[in-house]
Amino acid sequence: MPLVTVAVASGRLLDDSMRTLEAAGYLTAAAWRSTRRLILPCREPDVRVLIAKPGDLLTYVEHGAADLGIAGKDVLLEQGRDVYELVDLGFGACRGVVAFPEARAAEWESLSPIRIATKYPRVTERHFWGQGRPVEIIELRGTVELAPQVGLADGILDLVMTGRTLAANHLVEVAEVFRSTARLVVNRMSLRTRAEAVQAVVERMRAAAAARDPSSV
């Protein structure tokens, strides 16, 4: 069968992605826990795994350098890449929320225009313009919670898992914008031209995700 390449995002989804590939029978723990390699051979010669930055992963899949990829729904919503979403793998659960300083949370709906610091400029624009509210977007790559504290922005739109970071920075959630989990995505051409090989990997990944968490698919 032809070689199938699965792209996995480094960062917060990496461990669970690799454990899912382990559960599917493609990787051993030793193959990824003790290496800095970016392309990992699998237990089966017709499958390989590559590790990419979260912001780059969908580019690899869209352009066919990887047939499949594991990406957060948040990245899919922000980038809008031409890939096909196949399976909700269930892990990496978090939410995209709007948050404001405690002292200004009660008045946030009256602010116009509103200044929002975020790593998700496209999602932010769609959300606020969809409500008919003009928004000035401050795009940041680092810690967005700092922006309201120094007057750079009125509030933020960012991912939260437990809410502890918001609380530590005296921010209050005022609106939920989206919910995110890890998704298995596929290159559209791979799905059409190499359907048997790709679908075999998809089904094993689906079964592995279901076995880890029956509610995830």
Higher per-residue confidence, 40 vs 78:
78
Assess contact for 214 and 112: CB atoms under 8 A. Answer: no
> What are the boundaries of each domain within the chain?
4-92+181-216, 94-179
Mean pLDDT of the 82-93 span: 95
Greater pLDDT, 41 or 86: 86
Domains 4-92+181-216 and 94-179 alike in fold: yes
Are 177 and 59 in contact by the 8 Å Cβ rule? The answer is no
pLDDT, tens digit (0-9, with 9 covering 90-100), for 192-204: 999 999 999 999 9
Q: Where are the alpha helices (DSSP H) in the chain?
A: 14-23, 29-33, 54-62, 73-79, 121-130, 146-149, 164-168, 188-193, 195-212
Given a cut of 70, is residue 34 above it in pLDDT?
no
CA distance 212 to 217: 11
pLDDT recorded at residue 216: 42
pLDDT at 215 over 50: no
Buried-state track 146-164, b at ≥16 Cβ within 10 A, e below 16 = ebbeeeebbbbbbbbeeee
Mean pLDDT of the chain: 92
Pick the CATH number of 94-179 from 1.20.200.10, 3.40.190.10, 3.30.1370.60, 3.40.50.1970: 3.40.190.10
Q: Of 205, 200, 186, 206, whose CA–CA distance to 2 is shortest? A: 200
User: Of 1.10.10.10, 3.40.190.10, 1.10.3210.10, 3.40.50.150, which CATH number belongs to 4-92+181-216?
Assistant: 3.40.190.10
Task: State residue 214's pLDDT score.
Answer: 44
Q: pLDDT at position 128, please? A: 95
Task: With beta carbons less than 8 A apart as the criterion, state whether 60 and 16 touch.
Answer: no
pLDDT class for 217, splitting at 50, 70, 90? very low
Greater pLDDT, 34 or 139: 139
Q: Percent of the chain having pLDDT more than 70?
A: 96
Region 107-126 average pLDDT: 94
